[in-house]
Amino acid sequence: MSEHLAGNLFRWRLGFRLTVVVTWLLVLVLLWFGPRTWPRTVPLAAFWWFRAIAILGVVYLFYEVGQVSEKRVGVGEVLLDALLVLPMFAFWFIAWAASY
């Protein structure tokens, strides 16, 4: 059973990383390089998606930290995922602060 769970982790890792990178690119393109004539709902939807991925990313990061304690994942891989996910919260805070 535990081998099956480890296999799921390795299948999810690539999808997780790709989703986070594509989400960063989506937000950068839509918010900074996108036309200013778009309705307000387009950037809001992109930011909602960004927040959802950030929250799910932290949940996955906690799962991965648990796998480190069982020696299924290396610390370097967790650090890479943390570098992808944790700046999302800094960006989220900056965007929230700029809206006031």
Q: For residue 53, give the nearest of 88, 28, 83, 1 by alpha carbon.
A: 88
Which helix (H) or strand (E) is 18 found in, with range?
A: helix 2-28
Residue with tokens 């700029």: 98
CA 79 vs. chain centroid, Å, equals 13
Per-residue pLDDT of the chain (100 residues), as tens digits, is 456 655 666 677 888 899 999 998 988 887 777 777 778 787 788 888 888 999 999 998 888 888 888 888 888 988 999 999 999 888 888 877 877 7
Sequence-ordered list of residues with C-beta below 8 angstroms from that of 73, at least 6 positions apart, any chain: 9, 64, 67
How many domains in the chain?
1
> pTM value?
0.77
Q: At what angle do helices 2-28 and 75-98 cross, to 10 degrees?
A: 40
Host domain of residue 7: 2-98
